[in-house]
């Protein structure tokens, strides 16, 4: 919706000169808004916030995609760290890094970005319960280094500190954002080109252009974001023009949309079947192997995704071009046993439209192999706690594999380490933990990449996770939108460069 000011003229008491002057002023302001590109983009988001847009949770990625909250570091297309709110950095020793903080930055409440506030923001993240995923297994302390820099020290050597500081969950927020209860309110508290003005629960959010932004002034006047979990409704919003940018157009809806409005990009997101290794039938490695062998990836890709996905060879997909060439056959896996009617509960969620369809097809495949399958399908917000506490024998999840640091180790640790915070499979395997620790200790480069693939092999050997397919970004954009970001990592969407061409006024 385009916002306009209303100008009220007193009735007959005004002189003609004053009336003329008001009309000229109104015309001048209209012309000024037209020159400034006074347009608002309408965005249909996939999922509603789970924690009131608290940036210490996964909601941080919405704030990042709206460019309202910013981090010290950003990643380029190769996942290499680049300056953002930090202009420069150096490693002082194996556990200590120094980051120079950008001058002349203000938060959206008008307060300046200071070294002290950077320390407070990052310290709040390290003390959060639960902690941001990017800090799984990492103990980090932050302190001021003079008036222009901060020092970040880790308990052990960590070559990925700059990458970690790029995570949207480590965004730097104004002091007003932090409450005594540990929650963080992002309204008018970021540093980006758009200021968050309204949070309307799980329905919508409104952002306006921040004219005092330290970088380039935004082309758009603002962002009107609606949460539309129903995939059919998102596609309809694209077809009817009620949304300008649409997240995650369902594969089943693509054929109904003008091809010029649909953009497809391979992404580091894997659709995986997690098997509960702690209790239930899948404690038995032989039954996990039976589930793996029952899986027909090609059928799922062909029927559910209509060919718009890639069959999985491992946890890491074609978005990481180096992964497949480093793999070797996995040895030492358990042999499959006859399920003999083993009763299992299979869970997934409705927020990604394809997952319930995958569950139906997978149920058929598992029952053909001899399992007795019962499904539970809910909205993500209503199933997450049961999923993480191991209440399902099997769970289908669409999972980003490089979401936080631009490096797969953080995802692997979170999902498969004994102390991982997102360990759906309840896996605790010393060989897996050892492989993950080795990969985490290596600097970026060829040796680290090989260690990552070795860790992947250790995980797959347990059959705690059965990767099925790698998804692609299917993003909808109306023809009047220019420079919306098609980001495989799902960190960016609307930026200061996004604009609406030929928008009606």
pLDDT at 30: 42
pLDDT at 502: 60
Spacing of C-alpha 195 from chain mean position: 20
Most distant pair of Cα atoms in the chain: their distance:
94
DSSP-assigned letter for residue 66: T
pTM of the model: 0.72
Contact of 246 with 231, CB cutoff 8 Å:
no
Residue whose tokens read 């002057």: 21
- DSSP string for 105-157: -B-TTSPBP-HHHHHHHHHHHHH-SSPPGGGTT--EEEEEETTTEEEEEESS-
CATH of 60-177, one of 3.90.76.10, 3.40.50.10490, 3.20.20.70, 3.40.50.1220: 3.90.76.10
Domain residue extents for the chain: 1-35, 60-177, 194-261+474-500, 266-472
Going from the first residue of the chain to its last (505 residues), give the mean pLDDT of each consecutive group of 10, the final group possibly shorter.
32 33 43 54 96 94 98 87 96 96 98 98 94 88 97 93 94 95 92 98 97 98 97 96 95 92 90 98 98 98 93 93 92 96 97 94 98 97 96 96 81 94 96 95 85 97 98 93 92 97 53
Q: Fold match between 194-261+474-500 and 266-472? A: no
Let me know the angle formed at the C-alpha of 81 by 77 and 87, rounded to the nearest 5 degrees.
Answer: 125
As its CATH architecture, domain 194-261+474-500 has: 3-Layer(aba) Sandwich (3.40)
pLDDT at 369: 98
SS3 482: strand
pLDDT at 13: 34
* Model confidence pLDDT, tens digit, residues 227-259: 999 999 999 999 999 999 999 998 889 999 999
pLDDT at 344: 98
* Superfamily of the domain at 266-472: Dipeptide-binding Protein; Domain 3 (3.10.105.10)
């Amino acid at each position: 919706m385009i916002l306009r000011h209303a100008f009220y003229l007193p009735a007959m008491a005004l002189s003609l000169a004053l009336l003329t002057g008001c009309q000229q002023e109104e015309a001048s302001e209209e012309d000024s808004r037209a020159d400034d590109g006074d347009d608002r983009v309408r965005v249909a988001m996939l999922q509603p916030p789970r924690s009131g847009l608290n940036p210490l949770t996964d909601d941080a990625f919405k704030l990042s995609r709206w460019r309202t909250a910013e981090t010290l570091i950003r990643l380029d297309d190769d996942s290499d760290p680049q300056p953002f709110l930090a202009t420069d950095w150096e490693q002082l020793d194996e556990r200590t890094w120094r980051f120079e903080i950008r001058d002349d930055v203000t938060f959206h409440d008008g307060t300046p970005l200071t070294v002290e506030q950077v320390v407070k923001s990052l310290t709040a993240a390290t003390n959060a319960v639960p902690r941001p995923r990017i800090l799984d297994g990492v103990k980090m302390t932050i302190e001021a280094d003079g008036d222009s820099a901060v020092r970040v020290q880790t308990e052990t050597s960590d070559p990925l500190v700059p990458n970690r500081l790029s995570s949207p969950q480590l965004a730097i927020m104004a002091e007003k954002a932090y409450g005594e209860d540990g929650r963080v309110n992002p309204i008018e508290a970021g540093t980006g080109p758009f200021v968050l003005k309204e949070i309307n629960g799980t329905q919508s959010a409104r952002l306006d252009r921040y004219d005092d932004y330290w970088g380039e002034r935004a082309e758009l006047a603002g962002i009107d974001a609606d949460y539309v979990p129903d995939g059919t409704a998102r596609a309809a919003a694209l077809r009817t023009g009620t949304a300008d940018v649409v997240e995650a157009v369902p594969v089943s809806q693509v054929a109904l949309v003008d091809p010029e409005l649909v953009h497809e990009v391979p992404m580091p997101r894997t659709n995986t079947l997690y098997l509960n290794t702690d209790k239930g039938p899948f404690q038995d490695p032989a039954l996990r192997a039976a589930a793996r062998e029952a899986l027909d990836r090609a059928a799922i890709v062909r029927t559910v995704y209509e060919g718009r996905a890639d069959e999985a060879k491992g946890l890491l997909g074609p978005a990481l071009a180096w992964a497949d060439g480093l793999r070797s056959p996995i040895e030492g896996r358990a042999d499959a046993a006859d399920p003999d009617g083993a009763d299992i509960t299979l869970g997934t969620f409705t927020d990604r439209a394809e997952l319930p369809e995958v569950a139906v097809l997978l149920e058929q495949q598992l029952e053909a192999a001899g399992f007795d399958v019962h499904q539970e399908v809910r909205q993500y917000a209503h199933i997450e706690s049961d999923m993480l506490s191991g209440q399902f024998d099997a769970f289908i999840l669409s999972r980003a594999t490089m979401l936080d640091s631009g490096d797969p180790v953080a995802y692997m640790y979170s999902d498969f380490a004994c102390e991982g915070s997102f360990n759906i499979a309840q896996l605790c395997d010393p060989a897996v933990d050892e492989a993950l620790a080795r990969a985490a200790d290596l600097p970026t480069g060829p040796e680290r990449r090989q260690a990552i693939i070795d860790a992947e092999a250790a995980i797959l050997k347990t059959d705690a996770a059965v990767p099925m397919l790698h998804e692609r970004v299917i993003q909808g954009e109306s023809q009047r939108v220019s420079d919306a970001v098609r980001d495989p990592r799902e960190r960016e969407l609307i930026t200061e460069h996004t604009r609406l061409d030929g928008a009606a006024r």
